[in-house]
Structure 1
């Protein structure tokens, strides 16, 4: 994949899918800005990329605060002159698995703030820079829960449907500006979010695997491959699309 010399920001890159994508992009010669609300985790990922011969730096960012998102873009441009790609991966799940009538307001506000508003803030700030430089690529990390119903998970589902909608709307707006915007939609993947679910419902693991035609959960590096494809010039005629990586679950 053609990623050499691309300057790529990844939010939520201190762990899970974000960390896997950051490391894979580093292996493929991109310059990686590892962004996370947990700076220590971000620094560890950046250090590993550098140790393996790549170029990386870490920046602490809370994507729910627009001023911090603006600072992330500004610091990246100051250090590397441009932002070729931003991968909007930062996301959380709710603390409770409850039906809509019992869904907590705290879960709603917290999940929407990170997963939906955070992606909007990152897209908006990145688009302003990409318009100035005349090119750019945005990869949003949505979810299978943004394509089909997901019970006991209203705020997460709502936020991921929103990410898919924002991806398509913005792609329509900026397709003529040499800016591509796509999304990956992972299914059940080994991650902190899945671990959280299985901690609450240990029996859920076997149940979920029965719903997956491939009979296993995805791995973070498998989702990272999809992110790299959308970030690269290999997908240069692709915009406004969702790449579903779910082991066939949506079937």
Structure 2
């Protein structure tokens, strides 16, 4: 690993400071743009200038981390990048002169979430665009099973923090306990359980795991309703419900 000397560190600090001052007094900012990126996938943060880009440009995170920098006399590979983004960011360099300053971020991580600034040098000032990046690890498989006199519903590796809700058919009051654990990658595992009712039989239990943007559902029907017909009606998941709704809308 190449070591950066004290002189290099000072140059980086001074450069960042100058960028900060210039950004504060630069061109009129564009409206913020919200972008949602999927965990561990690639994502494009958009930024452009209709007049083309003929000088320098820079991508920074809100805490002043340099994500990537472009200088028309050097390639972006020659310029300093914060450790978090090494080998994970790139520009569409063959399109920069045409005004495309978008950033390609690969292997999106939860720690990438936050506000980014794209700064394009225009004469003596900088035109800047702010991007609010949100990370999402969608709800995947939802497991539901009976263990003793309890029904347990669980799902893993979700972001942001999910929640679980229960319902029954026919409708009845249920009490459940939910636990949420955070993984080393800042994702969430969630599990919830309820005690089977002794007074009411034939209930179909439905568990819904959701975040701010997506959800999945699983249902469970304990004995004695376990028969071929009940298996079909009790195996519905959230994805199938979405497909059915879309088909109904198309037929309307």
Structures share fold, TM-score greater than 0.5: no
Which of the two has greater strand per residue? 2
Q: Which has the larger radius of gyration?
A: 2
Q: Which has the higher contact order (CA 8 A, sep 6+)?
A: 1
TM-score (normalised: structure 2): 0.29
- TM-score by length of structure 1 reads 0.29
- Which structure carries more helix by proportion? 1
